[in-house]
A and B are shown apart, each in its own frame.
Chain A
Amino acid sequence: MTPQNHAVRIAEMDKYYGTFHALKNINLEIAKGEKIVICGPSGSGKSTLIRCINKLEDYHAGSINVLGTELDDNLDNIDEIRRETGMVFQHFNLFPHMTILENCTLAPMLVRKQSQIEAEQTALEFLTKVKIPEQADKYPGQLSGGQQQRVAIARALCMQPEIMLFDEPTSALDPEMISEVLDVMVSLADEGMTMVCVTHEMGFARQVADRVVFMADGEIVEEAAPDAFFDAPQQARTQAFLSQILGH
């Protein structure tokens, strides 16, 4: 395998839901260590796009390459890519029948074949990082939304992935809990993690992103560095979107 500078390379990718053309000719290259924020109106395909990167969704034309591995129908390749990409969901999706610690150690033990002691050590490390080591023995249902989402981030980090995908991580949270999750994401970004975030948090985008990608109707309409994107958007659709969400 030749050394790769990109973390993700998506080329001429199309996706359909039946006859509905959900993603149209997507070209996107993400460098290692780069932080991308994807935004756009609802239904624009941004969640679908990020879910294609670890094949939670199929795509129908073009190609996706993650860390040098081609994302095709080969199950080994899919597993390989999923091991190296962590994902955080809008609704946390913690396993309710397991404690916080078990949530964090399950995949490292099963997939990475770590010993229980090793996995628990790593888990506590990351739970400390997201500032809730004291909740390790509780069940997800006993935690607040913000705490659950931080656990979900820790759970993904326990697999020690190269890339982190965030699918609207703060959209299901009460307003007072958003910042605790964003703080964790900012510190993660500072450590050089490759991050792809679908989010409406424009403050976060401006502070953290290397590049903002704007999508509408299944297409990438505009991509630019955050300053240029927010201060001088080029496309009419971008301008309309920004004036709607920043306008009041």
Chain B
Amino acid sequence: MAKTYQNPNIIKRLRADYFSNRTDTTLTLIFGACAAWALWNLISWGLLNAVWSAEDRDLCAHGSGGACWAVIDARWRLIMFGLYPYEEQWRSGIACVVMVLIVGLSCVPWFWNAKRISALWLTGFGIFYVLMRGGYFGLTPVFEQNWGGLSLTLFIFATVSLIGMPMAIVFALLRRSELPWISNTMGVIIDTIRSLPLLSIMFTFAIVLPFVLPSWMIGDKLYRVIFGYALFFACYQAEILRGGMQALPAGQEEAAKALGMSYWHRIGYIVLPQAFRNALPPTINQFVITFKETSLVVIIGFFEILASGNAAFGNSEWNFAHVEVYAFVALIYFVFVFALSRYGAYLERRMAVAER
């Protein structure tokens, strides 16, 4: 009988990986103990001794030795919806779900053509806007100034990506124009905006721009900030895309030219798909950063989810419970960012098929 390879059993593997000699064993025991201690503390604080119900607030305040999740129970609507009017918060909730749904659906390859993706986003954004803003179908109007919490965070993220990505593509294409005056001008614009802090760009668009723009162009502060943020996003993403394009061998465009394909066909079918694939890891990175930096809009007075969280413990009743609120908000950030990262990893696997 031929010998076959057998997987070593678990005890053998554990011994080989963690207890192979005296140093190894010592280190395993020390770090194992530390890890177990940390984990035990976390569980006993976060689960075993935790206070869950808002009615037990007094128990928290006098110290139960555990986490006071009661604050979330009591204040979750403020954290999730910010200043949005209390009776109307169901609208903000549904709007959130809609936004998550369209972002989720646009990750499905079936939607990856111009018609389907634009139909999806137009409908999705339409529903989101009508729900949030109201004024139609008997919904009470709620102005942008009162939007807040998770739906505002998602709205800013989605809109910035949606406006910023096409802008980034245009910037990247202008940046590699064959006409030097175009590529150089674009280069100066990109470098200038990249050298400014995001905070100052948001501030400029929110506060300074109204003084220089004609009144019909001003719009709501929220949209000006989103536009400024999109511009900032586009400048970074344009450089990421340019890197992806530079990694393409010159032969790719030449082959497309030799087949008689026009400039836009070459860009749309040959250059951009491969540039995006080359630039996928930094692009996902850029999205993650963009999602997290939405929290900066607090400086011009918007209560996105982090600011709403601050407000949730910012009164005498709950002011001892900031750790719990931050942990909760961190969990929400984590869910979104982790999903983004996993999606990036899925895309890389999917594209690797065509790569070898």
Contact = CB atoms under 8 A, between A and B. Distances in A.
A235 interface: no
B254 A93 contact: yes
A56 B257 contact: yes
A18 B75 CA distance: 71
A170 interface: no
B260 A111 contact: yes
B251 A97 contact: no
B251 A91 contact: yes
A16 interface: no
Contact of A93 (B255, B262, B353, B355): B255
B32 interface: no
Contacts of A89: 251, 254-255, 258
A54 B269 contact: no
A221 B277 CA distance: 46
Contacts of B277: 97
Contacts of A141: 354-356
B4 to A, nearest CB: 29
B254 A106 contact: no
Nearest to A84: B260
Interface residues of B, number: 23
A98 interface: yes
A83 B257 CA distance: 9
A85 interface: yes
B274 interface: yes
A106 B251 contact: no
Interface string B233-258: 00000000000000001011011111
B259 A107 contact: yes
Contacts of B249: 91, 93
Contact of A110 (B252, B258, B265): B265
Chain B interface main SS type: helix
A206 interface: no
A142 B255 CA distance: 19
Contact of B260 (A79, A91, A93, A142): A79
Given A93-B252, A110-B269, A98 B259 contact: no
A110 B261 contact: yes
B269 A106 contact: yes
Contacts of A110: 261-262, 265, 269
Interface in A139-163: 139, 141-142, 152, 155-156, 159
A139 B265 contact: no
A107 B261 contact: yes
Given A106-B269, A139-B354, A141-B355, A95 B261 contact: no
Contacts of A152: 255
Interface residues of A, number: 28
A86 B274 contact: no
B273 interface: yes
Nearest to B251: A93
Given A96-B355, A141-B355, A56 B254 contact: yes
Contacts of A111: 259-262, 265
Nearest to A54: B258
Nearest to A155: B259
Contacts of B255: 87, 89, 93-95, 152
Contacts of B354: 96-98, 139, 141
A87 B261 contact: no
A54 B259 CA distance: 10
B270 interface: yes
A19 to B, nearest CB: 20
A237 interface: no
A131 interface: no
A54 B273 CA distance: 25
29 contacts: A54-B257, A56-B254, A56-B257, A79-B262, A82-B257, A82-B260, A85-B258, A86-B259, A89-B254, A89-B258, A91-B251, A94-B255, A95-B255, A95-B256, A96-B355, A97-B273, A98-B354, A106-B261, A106-B269, A107-B256, A110-B262, A110-B269, A111-B261, A111-B262, A141-B355, A152-B255, A156-B258, A156-B259, A159-B260
Which 9 A-B pairs have CB atoms at the shortest separation, nearest pair first?
A93-B255, A107-B259, A141-B356, A93-B251, A87-B258, A83-B260, A82-B260, A139-B354, A111-B260
Given A86-B258, A96-B274, A106-B269, 11 more contacts: A79-B260, A87-B258, A93-B251, A95-B252, A95-B256, A96-B355, A97-B274, A111-B259, A139-B353, A142-B356, A156-B258
Interface of A: 54, 56, 79, 82-83, 85-87, 89, 91, 93-98, 106-107, 110-111, 139, 141-142, 152, 155-156, 159, 165
Interface of B: 249, 251-252, 254-262, 265, 269-270, 273-274, 277, 351, 353-356
